[in-house]
Amino acid sequence: MKLTGRDANGYFARPDPKRMGLLIFGADAMRVALKRQEVIANIIGPQGDDEMRLTRIPASDLRKDPAMLTDAIKAQGFFPGPRAAFVEDANETVSKTIIAAIKDWQEGDAAVIVTAGALKATSALRKAFEGHKNAYAIGIYDDPPTREEIEAALQKSGVKNVDREAMNDLTALARELDPGDFRQTVEKIGLYKLNDPTPVNCDDISACAPTSTEADLDDVLNIVAEGRQAEIGPVMRKLEGQGMQPVGLCIGAMRHFRTLHAAASAPGGAASGISRVRPPVFGPRRDRMLKQAQGWGTHKLEQAITMLTDTDLLLRSAGQRAPQMALVERTLIRIAMLGQR
């Protein structure tokens, strides 16, 4: 049978021990692996792996020894409790072997968990599980986690109290990060708030979210956006000494001002726009950028973006001979002065 959406998530959390098994397939190997880990843990329990009630079978090994899966399904373990046979990275080359093995499945045998990459609707393996009366097939797609999935991940990490703004930040973060990184971030929040009864807030999310690769740009970008042109020179020298390239600095500034423009031009106002920008911004950085967007307005931000575009083109021009970092510094000073008008 085929499961989707909320029914699929419910089965991952509470698998039926009387079911023969489950096929999990999808193009994103990380998403498939996370769901596979969840369902196996819920079938055999936290001690199942240590008690050798889980048999892992790579598809490559199954091709060499087709009897492995049947043996794993029928084998009786030393420790009592439910068992599972897990076939990893299955494809059409082992579909006949898997289909033959599950035909002989009887109640009391090990549950069969099979993972695969993207499978077409015509796949024999997919058809076998979708058409089986006692098994499920679940496709995992690149959709961001739902609110229920985020709340379940928080609950699992011991986080029970999250304020509304922080939950909005988490939802935005879930759309930007891959599933593994997002799960690590949630676990980090759980450790960060250990023994802290206060609700998780935006500052907590900001402290635990993965650090942007452009964090070194923040100082100079905020200085420019806040019109403090006298401070640009010293910070530029510092960035240059750290190896920052002029083109990279120009691109970072362009992205910053485009984000401000997206916020300032939002129909619901800058506060509404800043919450929808991608990639998302969090905590104090969001408050700071919101204030910048409100102070600049769309017209002046468009002028700043035009100046940065012209500078970027000049930097890439074959006939340009002036020092590149000096060109970027001059542009940033002009933009900072524009923001003061």
Task: Judge whether 2-139 and 215-340 match in fold.
Answer: no
Question: How many beta carbons lie within 10 A of that of residue 99, not counting itself?
Answer: 15
Instruction: Give the homologous superfamily in CATH for domain 2-139.
Output: P-loop containing nucleotide triphosphate hydrolases (3.40.50.300)
pLDDT at 171 over 90: no
Token match 């898997």: residue? 98
Q: In the predicted model, is pLDDT for residue 275 greater than 50? A: yes
Q: Is the sign of the CA dihedral 100, 105, 109, 110 positive or negative? A: positive
Please state, rounded to an integer, the average pLDDT across all residues of the chain.
Answer: 87
**% of the chain with per-residue pLDDT over 90:** 37
Bigger pLDDT: 181 or 116? 116
Rounded to whole angstroms, how far apart are CA atoms 155 and 149?
10
Decide if pLDDT at 322 tops 90. Answer: no
In this prediction, residue 213 carries a pLDDT of 40
Residue 300 in contact with residue 224, Cβ under 8 Å? Answer: no
Per-residue pLDDT of 5-22, as tens digits, reads: 788 888 998 998 889 999
Residue 320: pLDDT over 90? no
Q: Of 99 and 233, which is predicted with more confidence? A: 99
Q: Given this model, what pLDDT does residue 57 score?
A: 95
Q: Say if residue 176's pLDDT is above 80.
A: no
Averaged pLDDT, 271-289: 79
Residue pLDDT, tens place only, 183-199: 889 999 999 998 888 99
The three-state (H, E, C) secondary structure of the chain, written as one string: CEECHHHHHHHHHCCCCCCCEEEEECCCHHHHHHHHHHHHHHHHCCCCCCCCCEEEEEHHHHHHCCHHHHHHHHCCCCCCCCCEEEEEEECHHHHHHHHHHHHCCCCCCCEEEEEECCCCCCCHHHHHHHCCCCEEEEECCCCCCCHHHHHHHHHHCCCCCECHHHHHHHHHHHHHCCHHHHHHHHHHHHHHCCCCCCCECHHHHHHHCCCCCCHHHHHHHHHHHCCCHHHHHHHHHHHHHCCCCHHHHHHHHHHHHHHHHHHHCCCCCHHHHHCCCCCCCCHHHHHHHHHHHHHHHHHHHHHHHHHHHHHHHHHCCCCCCCCHHHHHHHHHHHHHHHHHC
Q: In the prediction, which pLDDT does 233 show? A: 84
Q: How far apart are CA 192 and CA 299, in angstroms?
A: 42
Mean of the pLDDT values across residues 319-329? 83
User: How many Cα atoms occupy the beta-carbon half-sphere of 136 within 13 Å?
Assistant: 21
Give the range among 40-44, 280-284, 335-339 with minimum mean pLDDT.
Answer: 280-284
- Region 93-106: what's the mean pLDDT? 92
**Could you read off the pLDDT of 126-165 as tens digits, one per residue?**
999 999 999 999 999 877 788 888 888 898 889 888 988 8
Summarised one tens digit per residue, pLDDT across range 195-252 is: 888 999 988 888 888 765 444 677 888 889 988 888 888 888 888 877 788 888 888 8
Predicted local distance difference test score (pLDDT) of residue 58: 94
* In contact, 137 and 11? CB cutoff 8 Å: no
- Written as one letter, the residue type at 240 is E
Q: Is the pLDDT of residue 281 over 90?
A: no
**Quick one: pLDDT at residue 124?**
93
The total number of residues written for the chain in this structure: 341
Radius of gyration (Cα) for the chain, nearest Å?
Answer: 27
Confirm if 93 and 120 have CB atoms less than 8 A apart.
no
Contact call for residues 49 and 141 (beta carbons, < 8 A): no
CATH of the structural domain 215-340, one choice from 1.10.10.10, 1.20.272.10, 1.10.1740.10, 3.30.565.10:
1.20.272.10
- Write down the domain spans for the chain: 2-139, 147-208, 215-340
> What separation, in Å, do the N-terminal and C-terminal C-alpha atoms of the chain show?
65
